[in-house]
Structure 1
Amino acid sequence: MIQQAIAQVISPYFEPLFSPHSYGYRPHKRASQAVNHVQSCVKQGYKTAVDIDLSKFFDEVNHDMLMNRVGRKVKDKALMRLLGKYLRAGIAERETGLWFESTKGVPQGGPLSPLLSNILLDELDKKLTYKHLKFARYADDIIILVKTKSEGLIIQREITAFITQRLKLKVNESKSRVGPVSGSKFLGFTFRYAQVQIHEQALKKFKANVRELTNRNWGISMTLQIHKLTQYLRGWGHYYLIANAYQLTVDLDHWIRRRIRMCYWRQWRKPRTKVRSLMKLGVSERLAIACGITSKGPCRSSKTKGINIALGNDYLASQGLVSLKDIWINIHYGR
């Protein structure tokens, strides 16, 4: 409640002054807008990316510097004292979970820390704007776009020095790079042939989460399992499927349905239960028996004719399973 109150008072002083290319945690700004802006820059010929990785950004924010930035606009002394107490309240060490006071770092998880990060990094935005650079920033995720690698290397050195010396933040040089935008990762996306694509790391994480949600040994009802999976798919889809990914969604839908069929097969367990369940779902007795008594495991069984008849796409949809392809079509064509 206190964080929210401070944020509501401070925000009007700074929000109108923020860069239009700062997209994180701002009214009427979304990650998709940042991604679309980068795509637009790539289409204009800015195909070299300067990726600057801020090392443990929220842990490294200098309190004195942040208070100075806020104090330039906010003259309410009581409010500034309250903000100072909030910052000095301490942060939890990630490795041990122990709480300790510090002269740097912003507690994460509330509505105030994103605003404070934007206030501090607004000076970086203004530096980039002054140099007439193409860029997008979402909180501490920053990408700068230039036309040549030689230009990018110069910009990288200059901006890294600005961040470390002026803003007193750390840059992870091992993760920072200058190179083709197709090798960049920005908000989980990359850009190839001026098209937005889902980054391979984001896709790998997605598949790992789906595997966990379709664990055949979970021990919950299929209704609940499909419900939890669908919740995840909707959230992931509405974020990532702004990408050029139609064929990918077709392939992922096929893979997800096969995993769901494996879950059904594992839950039915006994051959008699399998045969009865298949027949109840419209499979002929002969085919149901052939499927039910097979020695094939869940993976191979999920590809058989009988199971695909019983647990077809329409049936799984009737149980609430959402299609990523349908989400993609709705995002891109509104139907």
Structure 2
Amino acid sequence: MDRRPPSPARSGGTGQLGIPTVLDRLIQPAIAQALTPIIDPTFSESSHGFRPGRSAHDAVRKVQVYVKAGFTYAVDADLSKCFARVSHDLLMARLSPHIDDKRVLRLIGRYLRAGVADEHGAIQPTSVGVPQGGPLSPLLTNVMLDDLDKELERRGHRFARYADDFIILVKSQRSGERVLASITRFLTQQLKLAVNEAKSQVAPVSECSFLGFTIIRGKIRWTDPSFREFRRRLKRYTARSWGVSMDHRFGCLRRYMRGWMNYYGISEYCRPLLDLDGWLRRRVRMCYWKQWRRCRTRVGHLIRLGAPTKHAFTCGSSRKAYWHLARTLSTQRGMTDRWLADKGPLSVRELWIAVHYPDDARPVDQ
């Protein structure tokens, strides 16, 4: 039995995230650890999700290879609530050839049918679906969707799949529409899964996103929504109304920026990062200005930091908005870029350079 609170879905809605019990958290990883060496070698080379030695970056780079080879149209089929609609009978039939011990099969079947506790604690039976978030769920989902991989390979398609997110590369709009129609029939008739037709499309690769990236003129780029969300989070961490110390603020910024760049840093497009760095430094100056509060304190800090005395007094006594004062001559001469770098915030652009040119990157504080 597990509990399934709603969780944000990649498509923008909400899904059910399965939270296993303490005992399940011990047993399910043990089952997955024993079965992975047996089942994983049978999976397709184009399957990258939740597999040892594979990552989302591998899937994106594989798509890039196909695009450079001339497959410039994408068939983007959206599986509607894939985890929640997996047929238990079909899944167990696909597990049986890999598992000789019937006790293990019965145990997996019991997990699938164990039921879930709703928000009121009542147990609801489960006749279909795999708990999303369980330790065993990624392996079971890959087993179920391996039929899709094998079918695409049998037809000679170029594709990449990461869990329930997959993309097929073709050379024309017309062939893409044929592939989408036939794959939709296969998914609904053979695997009993639903395809969200409203969100599925055939379009040039540059107009499609896959795992937060798109391919434009053969180059990997983060999608605009991904970058907007990054900027939104940075804005939240540098909100002057957030009543925390600057050290705590810088710690949150560092962790989030490093985490974002560890994933999105494979993007070969960095033009917005220079402007983003300038915008971020201005917001940090604004936070310092709010923290200093008093006119005398502001003037004293600016003078000690090297700002001209006259400009420091003019700026320190000004009643203009924080955002405006964060870009004056005195605040920039006092709180220089180097001073801010020593205090804590990292340069997003330097993090990107460290990913692509590690030998040329300057050391960045941890």
**Partner AA of 1:139 in structure 2:** A
**1:28-39, aligned counterparts within 5 Å?**
28-39=53-64
**1:208-287, aligned counterparts within 5 Å?**
208-287=232-311
**1:248-327, aligned counterparts within 5 Å?**
248-327=272-351
**Partner AA of 2:296 in structure 1:** R
Among 184, 202, 207, the alignment partner of 1:183 is: 207
**Are the equivalent residues in 2 in contact too, given 1:262–1:298 (CA < 8 A)?**
yes
**Are the equivalent residues in 2 in contact too, given 1:91–1:105 (CA < 8 A)?**
no
1:7–1:228 distance in 2 versus 1, CA, 3 Å: same
Mean Cα deviation higher: 207-216 or 172-181: 207-216
**Partner AA of 1:50 in structure 2:** V
Q: Please give the alpha-carbon distance, in whole angstroms, between the structure 2 residues aligned to 1:189 and 1:97.
A: 40
1:71–1:331 distance in 2 versus 1, CA, 3 Å: same
| Richer in helix (by share) | 1
Q: Please give the alpha-carbon distance, in whole angstroms, between the structure 2 residues aligned to 1:253 and 1:98.
A: 50
Q: Please give the alpha-carbon distance, in whole angstroms, between the structure 2 residues aligned to 1:287 and 1:256.
A: 23
TM-score (norm 2): 0.87
Q: Please give the alpha-carbon distance, in whole angstroms, between the structure 2 residues aligned to 1:211 and 1:92.
A: 37
Among 194, 198, 214, the alignment partner of 2:218 is: 194
Query: How far apart are residue 334 of structure 1 and its match?
Result: 1.7
> What is aligned with 2:48?
23
Among 80, 83, 87, the alignment partner of 1:55 is: 80
Q: Please give the alpha-carbon distance, in whole angstroms, between the structure 2 residues aligned to 1:264 and 1:237.
A: 25
Give identity over the alignment, percent: 46
1:91–1:139 distance in 2 versus 1, CA, 3 Å: farther
1:255–1:98 distance in 2 versus 1, CA, 3 Å: farther
TM-score (norm 1): 0.95
**1:133-144, aligned counterparts within 5 Å?**
133-144=157-168
Tell me, yes or no, if structure 1 residue 10 matches structure 2 residue 26: no
Deviations 1:181-229 (A, max 9, x none): 1110101011111111111111121122112211211100011101101
**Partner AA of 2:305 in structure 1:** L
* 2:215 alignment partner, SS class: strand
Tell me, yes or no, if structure 1 residue 145 matches structure 2 residue 196: no
Query: How far apart are residue 5 of structure 1 and its match?
Result: 0.5
Query: How far apart are residue 97 of structure 1 and its match?
Result: 9.4
Query: How far apart are residue 17 of structure 1 and its match?
Result: 0.9
Tell me, yes or no, if structure 1 residue 173 matches structure 2 residue 194: no
Query: How far apart are residue 281 of structure 1 and its match?
Result: 2.4
Root mean square deviation, CA, Å: 1.7
**Partner AA of 1:135 in structure 2:** F
* 1:29 alignment partner, SS class: coil
Q: Which has the higher contact order (CA 8 A, sep 6+)?
A: 1
Structure 1 runs, 4 residues or longer, greater than 6 Å off: 95-98
> What is aligned with 2:102?
77
Q: How many residues align?
A: 334
Query: How far apart are residue 288 of structure 1 and its match?
Result: 1.6
Q: Please give the alpha-carbon distance, in whole angstroms, between the structure 2 residues aligned to 1:151 and 1:237.
A: 36
**Partner AA of 1:226 in structure 2:** F
> What is aligned with 1:157?
181
| Structure 1 gap ranges (5+) | none
| Structure 2 gap ranges (5+) | 1-25, 360-366
**1:108-147, aligned counterparts within 5 Å?**
108-147=132-171
